[in-house]
Amino acid sequence: MARRTGGGHRLSGFRPERIGVLAVQVGYATVMAALLLAVVTLGVLLARAPTVAAGIDAAVAAGTGPLSGSGAAWLFHVGVLGLLFGSWLLGLGLIVDGLVD
C-alpha cells in the first residue's frame, strides 16, 4: 500500500505564530502611515480655516461624516479609517501571538 505523506496538504506548513507576527507588523505599519496622513491633513484643515475652532469643527465633520468628496477632508477621513483598521489588525496580531505562546 502506498503511504500518504504530510507534504500534500495545503496547510502542512501552517504556523499560527507567523500569522500573529505578520498581523502585528502590518498593523503597526498601517497605524504609522495612517497616523502621518491624519496629522498632516489635520494640519492642513486647521491652516485653511479662519479660526482654530472652525478648523476643529471641519476635522470633526470630516472624520465623522460619510466618505465622499475630495480634498483634505477626504484624506483626513481615509487617515482615520486607516488608523481604525491598523489598530484592529495590530490587536488581532497581538491576540493570536499571545494565544500561541
Q: Answer yes or no: is pLDDT of 67 > 80.
A: no
- Quick check: 2 pLDDT over 60? no
Ordered by start, the domain boundaries in the chain are: 26-100
pTM: 0.75
Beta strands of 1-101 (E only): which ranges? Answer: none
User: Which pLDDT score is estimated for 91?
Assistant: 94
Buried b or exposed e, range 16-33, using 16+ CB within 10 angstroms? eeeebeebbeebeebbee
- pLDDT higher for 84 or 12? 84
Other C-beta atoms closer than 10 Å to the C-beta of 62 total: 23
What pLDDT score does 9 carry?
56
pLDDT at 69 (0 to 100): 74
Q: pLDDT tens digits, residue range 7-64?
A: 555 656 667 778 888 999 999 999 999 999 999 999 998 999 999 999 899 888 888 8
pLDDT beyond 70 at 83:
yes
pLDDT for the residue 11: 57
